[in-house]
Amino acid sequence: MSAITFQNVSYAVEDRQLLTNITGSFEQGRITTLVGPSGAGKTTLLKLCNGLLSPTSGTITVQQKPIDTFVPTTLRQTVGMALQAAPMISGTVYDNLCLPKKLQRQTLSIEDAQKWLEDVHLPASLLTQQARDLSGGQRQRVSIARTLVNRSPILLLDEITSALDRTACREIETLIQKINDKYGTTIIWITHNLEQAMTIGHHTWVMMDGQLIEAGPSSLLETTTNEQIQAFVRGEAR
Amino acid sequence: MTYTALSLTLIFVFIPFILSKALHLGLEKDIFIATARSTVQLLAVGYILSFVFEAESAIFMVLMVSLMIVVATLNARKKGRWLRGITWKIALAIIAVELITQGVLLGFHIVPATPQYIIPISGMMIGNAMVISILFLNRFRAELDARADEVELLLSLGGTPKQAIHRQLIDAIKASMIPTIESQKTIGLVQLPGMMSGQIIGGADPIQAVQFQLLIIFALLTCAAVSSTIVGFTSYRTLFNERMQLHH
Ligand SMILES: Nc1ncnc2c1ncn2[C@@H]1O[C@H](COP(=O)(O)OP(=O)(O)OP(=O)(O)O)[C@@H](O)[C@H]1O
Ligand SMILES: [Mg+2]
Residues of A in contact with B161 (CB under 8 A): none
Alpha-carbon distance B151 to nearest alpha carbon in chain A (angstroms): 9
Question: Is the minimum distance from the CB of A217 to ligand 1 under 6 angstroms?
Answer: no
Instruction: With a cut of 80, say whether residue A238 has pLDDT above it.
Output: no
Q: Each residue of B116-137: pLDDT tens digit?
A: 999 999 999 999 999 999 999 9
Mean pLDDT for A128-155 is 97
Q: Each residue of A164-187: pLDDT tens digit?
A: 999 999 999 999 999 999 999 999
Q: Each residue of A52-110: pLDDT tens digit?
A: 999 999 999 999 999 999 999 999 999 999 999 999 999 999 999 999 999 999 999 99
Give Cα B33 to chain centroid, integer Å.
23
**ipTM confidence score:** 0.95
Alpha-carbon distance B234 to nearest alpha carbon in chain A (angstroms): 21
pLDDT lower than 50: segments of chain B:
none
Across the interface, whether the CB atoms of B157 and A150 are under 8 A apart is answered yes
Residue A163: burial class (beta carbons within 10 Å; 0-12, 13-18, 19+): middle
Ligand 1 pocket test, candidate residues A10, A14, A43, A160, most atoms within 8 A of CB: A43
Cα A179 to ligand 1 centre (Å)? 29
Question: Is the minimum distance from the CB of A18 to ligand 1 under 6 angstroms?
Answer: yes
Alpha-carbon distance B78 to nearest alpha carbon in chain A (angstroms): 24
Identify residue A94 by its one-letter amino acid code.
Answer: Y
Average pLDDT taken over every residue of chain A? 96
What domains lie within chain A, and their CATH numbers? 2-85+153-233 (3.40.50.300)
Give the three-state DSSP class for B244: coil
Cα A18 to ligand 1 centre (Å)? 7
